[in-house]
Chain A
């Protein structure tokens, strides 16, 4: 018995020896996976360096809520990349950071020290939800390039956002400041806050109310009919106008490029006898009646807190400018605005300004779409001049209301109020759940 075990053991060893050397396998690829990963990394690294003027990325972090932020990226050998962005004024000053190419699920390009692109991932500068920044990522999985090599395709790992790097031109760099400045024309302080999209298809003109949010570069068609099943679009700036990140259908064409006309301050598209324009408007066309709450519910209270709401996407650039101006000389500035609508008992707004509180009483009238403000009077005569200027501009004539669908930090509904006389818009908490 022992012998059998011994012999069969021996036979197994011999069999193992004879079969273990069969090297040939059926392979799908001629290289091993490791070799292919290596090759992919080399391809990406080399291709990044082929563009004479670097690459241009119009980064749309979330097409449902954001427009495009443009980055010009000039990669150098080793680990350095020079970058500019049109996110803010600082973005125009080129900055060098580091990048790496690593295997992260797939071959990935990682911007490994903070440069411009990280401004979309700053938790203390969030457009919508607290702590989320502008939903940006700075790691990009590489998925290949176009046949002519002029485009490279990437996808972000967390949100699966597609990003296309296009070879940049000398003109892109030369006119980048013009491109940045074009953004101001989309939200001019000197023009009303309301915007209209006018579409003319073979003489048939339809106007849509457009709610444009400059901080996120996103436009929504307010109320009214939908434009060919599309109710929103993002924009990216170009030196000559804006480029819609998702075009709108005008006639049989898809309109994406709108050119700025400095004479009318509008952005215009034209093709095959059809036109479309993004224009400023003294008043909205179809508005909502959410303002009526303030005439019925005597508990209505709007609460703006600068600590939580200064970065809200619906705050207009002019309102942001006022907030910045008030903060000068390290003072706290305008920290809170509370507006009480109490009907018969009187309406008033209080302003917490540099540690003191000031009160403005006023009356209201229903003005079809908006609340007309009348009989303004301050309860004290020591109101600082700059606060007075701001408050009286906000309450100058009519207030328009819009109930927002997003929330910031608290579960309270957000209500944006807009002045019809100056381009002031600010988000407020609906303190007592009136809306």
Chain B
């Protein structure tokens, strides 16, 4: 019985050997049939690599790729000359502000993996304009980079709004905020609605929301509230709050801002208003044309 088992074992061993070796031939594996040569990098590509990819592991892309467009929309890629200024401004107002207050590594650890630029406006059929989009926290698409006037404060704020808003979502995915308290505040007066685009600013403010879009749901409300503060100066925020007609609405907005402040402190040990001040300083630098310094 024992000999039999040994023989069987040997038989199996040889058979397997046959299976494994029978297909081998003397042909060596040749070069790939694909062209594997690295495409030459332009100066702009090298700059992107040094400024975004290497330090932050963010892929900043600008060449047209239909899979990143919208099949039902008419869009076009950015002009070559628009790419670097757009990325410099985003770095200055977003990355540099967070790095200054949260530490050099802050954005390196939590960031979208891709920033994609589109040159044209993204126009909806009803005439409204989409400024930017985020895909599951991994990719942020910024539109109309060919049309931003970097000397105009409102233009710059509008352009940076997308990234400030979406980055709050990415932070929320990393560390949660107090959603129970937040939701209760959101539902105190008006509540959330998918019909937010039919609301106006004033009514939304009176119900305790910084913008109509904040009324969509608590996550959007949180991101809108935080980015709204990040895009306003101290004086502008105070002036905004003083103009909210409903005392209850104003109180809710103030409580929400306090939750955002606490969130940054508890979860990231960051002073939210210090971050706002840094963003404001960097925004002012941008509109004064100082956003090219410290670039490799």
Residues of A bordering B, CB below 8 Å: 6, 10, 13-14, 16-18, 20-21, 32, 34-35, 38, 78-79, 96-98, 100, 104, 110-115, 118, 121-124, 130-133, 138-139, 157-158, 409
A98→B63 contact, CB < 8 A: yes
Check B273 for interface membership: any CB of A closer than 8 A: no
Q: How far is the CA of A108 from the CA of B18 in the complex (A)?
A: 46
The CA of A139 and the CA of B63, in the complex, are separated in Å by 12
| B180 at interface, CB cutoff 8 A | no
Let me know if A132 and B78 touch, CB within 8 A.
no
- Name the contact of A409 in the complex, choosing from B33, B66, B79, B127 (C-beta under 8 A): B127
Known: A131-B123, A139-B64. A98 touches B35 (CB 8 A): no
- Chain B, range 44-93, C-beta contacts under 8 Å to A: 62-64, 66, 71, 73-80, 82-83
Residue of A nearest to B78 (CB): A114
Q: How far is the CB of B9 from chain A (nearest CB, A)?
A: 12
Task: Looking at the assembled complex, report how far the CB atom of A266 sits from the nearest CB atom of chain B, in whole angstroms.
Answer: 36
B15 touches A17 (CB 8 A): yes
Report whether A118 and B76 are in contact in the complex, using a CB–CB cutoff of 8 Å: yes
> CA separation between A133 and B119, bound complex, in Å?
14
Q: By the criterion CB–CB under 8 Å, are B64 and A111 in contact?
A: yes
Q: Name B63's contact: one of A14, A96, A113, A157 (CB within 8 Å).
A: A113
17 contacts between A and B (CB under 8 A): A10-B15, A14-B18, A17-B19, A17-B22, A32-B33, A38-B35, A79-B39, A100-B63, A113-B62, A113-B64, A114-B79, A122-B76, A130-B123, A131-B127, A133-B74, A139-B66, A409-B127
Q: For the complex, what is the distance from the CA of A143 to the CA of B77, rounded to whole Å?
A: 24
With both beta carbons as reference points, the residue of chain A lying nearest to B21 in the complex is identified as A17
With A10-B12, A122-B120 given, is the CB distance from A112 to B77 under 8 Å?
Answer: yes
Residues of B within 8 A of A157 (CB): 66
B residues within 8 A CB of A32? 33
Chain A nearest CB: distance from B273 CB in Å? 36
Shortest distance from the beta carbon of A283 to any chain B beta carbon, whole Å = 38
Chain B contact surface mostly:
loop
Residues of A within 8 A of B82 (CB): 114
Also in contact, A121 and B124, with CB within 8 A (given A111-B64, A113-B63)? no
A8 → chain B, closest Cβ, in Å?
13
Residues of B within 8 A of A112 (CB): 63-64, 77
CA distance A6 to B79 in the complex (A): 69
List residues of chain A with CB within 8 A of the CB of B146: 114
Do residues A123 and B79 form an inter-chain contact, with CB atoms below 8 A? no
Enumerate chain A residues within 8 angstroms of B121, measured Cβ to Cβ: 123-124
Partner pick for A13 among B16, B33, B63, B76, CB 8 A cutoff:
B16
| Residue B204 interfacial (CB < 8 Å) | no
Q: A113-B63, A114-B77, A123-B122 are in contact. List 7 more A-B contacts (CB 8 A).
A: A14-B18, A34-B33, A98-B63, A113-B119, A124-B121, A133-B74, A409-B127
A93 → B minimal CB distance (Å): 13
Asked if A123 and B64 make an inter-chain contact with CB atoms under 8 angstroms apart, the answer reads no
Closest chain B residue, CB of each to CB of A95: B79
Q: Does B296 interact with chain A (Cβ within 8 Å)?
A: no
Contacts of B119 in A (CB 8 A): 113-114, 118
Choose among A16, A21, A121 the residue that contacts B76 (Cβ–Cβ < 8 A).
Answer: A121
Residues of A within 8 A of B71 (CB): 158
* Residue of A with least CB distance to B76: A118
Q: In whole Å, how far is A140's beta carbon from the nearest beta carbon of chain B?
A: 12
Q: Is the CB of A131 within 8 A of B62?
A: no
- Assuming the contacts A124-B121, A131-B124, A139-B64, asked whether A113 and B79 have C-beta atoms less than 8 A apart, the reply is yes
Residues of A within 8 A of B125 (CB): 130-131
Cβ-defined contact, A98 with B73, below 8 A: no
A249 to chain B, nearest CB (A): 35
CA A177 – CA B63 in complex, angstroms?
A: 30
A6–B7 CA distance with the chains assembled, in angstroms: 13
Q: In the complex where A104-B66, A111-B64, A112-B64 touch, is A98 in contact with B120 (Cβ < 8 A)?
A: no
Residues of B within 8 A of A123 (CB): 73-75, 120-123
| Complex Cα spacing A298 to B78, Å | 50
Query: Are A124 and B123 neighbours in the complex by a CB distance under 8 Å?
Result: yes
Which residues of A lie under 8 Å from residue B62 when comparing CB positions?
Answer: 113
Q: Which of B18, B66, B77, B124 contacts A113 (CB 8 A)?
A: B77
Provide the bound-state CA to CA distance between A78 and B77, in Å: 19
Q: Min CB distance, B75 to chain A, in Å?
A: 7
B136 in the interface (beta carbon within 8 A):
no
Within the assembled complex, what's the spacing in Å between the Cα atoms of A115 and B19? 58
> Which B residue's beta carbon lies closest to that of A41?
B35
Chain B residues with CB under 8 A of A14: 15, 18
A16 touches B78 (CB 8 A): no
B11 at the interface (CB under 8 A from A): yes
B64 close to A138 (CB less than 8 A): yes
Cβ distance A103 to chain B, nearest Cβ, rounded Å? 11
In the assembled complex, how far is the CB of residue A414 from the closest CB belonging to chain B, in whole angstroms?
Answer: 16
Whether A97 pairs with B80 at a CB distance below 8 angstroms is yes
Residue of B nearest to A136 (CB): B74
- In the assembled complex, the Cα of A134 lies from the Cα of B170 at a distance in Å of 38
Listed residue (B15, B23, B74, B77) with the most chain A CB atoms within 10 angstroms of its CB:
B74
In the complex, B40 has a CB within 8 A of chain A? yes
Residues from chain A with Cβ under 8 Å of B22 in the complex: 17-18, 20-21
Q: CA A134 – CA B119 in complex, angstroms?
A: 17
Instruction: Name the distance in Å between A60's Cβ and chain B's nearest Cβ.
Output: 17
Q: Within 8 Å of chain A (Cβ to Cβ): is B197?
A: no
A16 CB contact (under 8 Å) in B19, B80, B83: B19
Which of B62, B120, B146 neighbours the largest number of chain A CB atoms within 10 Å of its CB? B120
The answer for the CA separation of A6 and B9 in the assembled complex, in Å, is 12
Within the assembled complex, what's the spacing in Å between the Cα atoms of A139 and B76? 11
**Contact code string B26-37 (vs A, CB < 8 Å = 1, else 0):** 000000011100
Cα of A421 to Cα of B122 in the assembled complex, Å: 40
B74: chain A residues at CB < 8 Å are: 121-123, 131-133
Instruction: Give the chain A neighbours of B127 by CB distance below 8 A.
Output: 130-131, 409
Mark out the residues of chain B between 91 and 148 whose CB falls within 8 Å of any chain A CB in the assembled complex.
Answer: 119-125, 127, 146
Q: Is the CB of B64 within 8 A of A110?
A: yes
B132 nearest CB across to chain A (Å): 15
C-alpha spacing A214/B119, complex, angstroms:
27
Q: Which residues does chain A contribute within 8 Å of B42, judged by CB atoms?
A: 79
B34 lies within 8 A of A13 (CB): no
Min CB gap A102→B, angstroms: 9
- Closest-by-CB residue of A relative to B35 is A38
Q: Which 10 pairs show the lowest CB-CB distances between chains A and B?
A: A118-B76, A131-B123, A112-B63, A123-B123, A112-B64, A17-B19, A114-B79, A114-B119, A123-B74, A133-B74
**In the complex, are the beta carbons of B80 and A113 less than 8 A apart?**
yes
